Amino acid sequence: MGVIHRYKGDFDWEGVAQESYPPERNMKGVTVRRLIGPAEAAPNYSLRYFEVEAGGWSCLEQHAHDHGVMVMRGQGSVQLGDEHFKIAFGDVIYIPGDQLHQLRNTGDEPFGFLCVIPALE
């Protein structure tokens, strides 16, 4: 059976908790809302909404799986391998498997993005 998480405004959805990451993950000011994934019994992919506070960043990491990212608010930068790119609302980023990557908030407001990955979590 399908699931609907109604949008409540301010990048919040009904039935979806905001989660923080533990300090050992080497992130600063990152929260996640898991919009589609195991809780919805989605067998093929997960859709998550991340938000990064001003001055914050995600982990510098690489994985075997690829990512699809769409910037929904604010501005930031993405590291892809050894290169850094400015990104802002509406930009879409493909991160192939095994590529080193990191997202950073370079603005004064929250930096939010949707991220799609294979169903791994």
The string of DSSP letters for 5-59 reads --EEETTEETT--EEE--GGG--EEEEEEEEESGGGT-SSEEEEEEEEEEEEE--
Rounded to whole angstroms, the Cα distance separating 29 from 68 reads: 21
> Which residues are catalytically annotated?
115
